[in-house]
Structure 1
Amino acid sequence: MKKYARIVDGKVDNIFETVNAITDEFPSDQLWVEVTGLSSNQVDYSYNAINTDGVWTFNSGFPYPSSPLGEQLRNEKTQRLDKVKASVEATALQFKVDLGLATAAEAAYLLAYKQFCVAFHQVNKQPGFPLTIIWPEIA
């Protein structure tokens, strides 16, 4: 899995992880920089992005160690995903389906959960991201 930062007007405005080529995920006219291995205190939303002779560096604009927007997004994402994950794990839903023990309603819920996870991990493909996010809900 590779991690990329999108640069717009000298700032990081999106961070995305994928196993695909970034141009398979987003239009090729966007500027994406691979940042695999960098932590959120090295590159984060709203960080300044500086290209010096082809080498990208990122900074938050001292003295802030991470951006408030990045922190808010991570907290929101963690809370939303953890809540849904906990209910699926607590009921051993995947195991019930795998073993043929799930009811039709349980199997349908697991499918909805998987669709939710895919939509959830693609919120940063939304047009207004990161300032406007429509968080997916599980039915």
Structure 2
Amino acid sequence: MKKYARIVDGLVDNIYETNNPITEEFPADQFWVEVVGDTVVDYSFKAVNTNGVWSFDGSPYWQSELGNQLRRERAARLDKVINSVTAAALLAKVDLGLATAADQAYLLAYKQYCVAFSEVNKQPGFPLTIVWPERP
């Protein structure tokens, strides 16, 4: 899996990991840099290109109050998803052929929610503006 940093106005505004070419994941007009080796990069790091080699420097985004708020909100929402799916045992019911049509629809809605939740960092205003998906 490769790690990429999107650069906007000289700062890292998004970080993404994928097995696919980054151009398959995001519009071609965005500027992404592959993060290689043990390079440390985080949101709002300054991105510097020196003779074709990218380096990243600055106070990490996650230390800011906005970063802490985002992490708390994300953790709370993810905990609700995990608890709901686990408590209902929907995956086991489907795997064992015991799920009703309503169980299957509920599980599908949760899977769609989890995908939408995992892609909030692709939203245009991220991280300053986030539209969280509604939990089913």
Structure 1 residue ranges without an equivalent (≥5) = none
**2:134 matched residue in structure 1:** 137
Would you say the 8 A contact 2:45–2:61 is kept in 1?
no
RMSD value, Cα: 2.2
**1:57 matched residue in structure 2:** 55
Q: How does the TM-score come out when normalised to structure 1? A: 0.84
Q: Deviations over 1:75-95 (max 9, x none)?
A: 322221121112101222111
**2:13 matched residue in structure 1:** 13
Aligned pairs for 1:1-139 within 5 A: 1-35=1-35, 42-61=40-59, 66-68=62-64, 69-139=66-136
Measured at CA, do residues 126 and 48 of structure 1 come closer, stay the same or move farther in structure 2, by a change above 3 Å? same
User: Counterparts of 1:66 and 1:106 in 2: how far apart (Å)?
Assistant: 38
Q: Which amino acid aligns with 1:138?
A: R
Measured at CA, do residues 67 and 28 of structure 1 come closer, stay the same or move farther in structure 2, by a change above 3 Å? farther
Q: Which amino acid aligns with 1:34?
A: E
Query: What is the total number of aligned residue pairs between the two structures?
Result: 135
User: Counterparts of 1:118 and 1:25 in 2: how far apart (Å)?
Assistant: 14
Structure 2 residue ranges without an equivalent (≥5) = none
User: Counterparts of 1:37 and 1:115 in 2: how far apart (Å)?
Assistant: 33
Q: Which amino acid aligns with 1:124?
A: N
Measured at CA, do residues 65 and 102 of structure 1 come closer, stay the same or move farther in structure 2, by a change above 3 Å? closer
Identical residues among aligned pairs (%): 68
Q: How does the TM-score come out when normalised to structure 2? A: 0.85
- SS of alignment partner, residue 5 of structure 2: strand
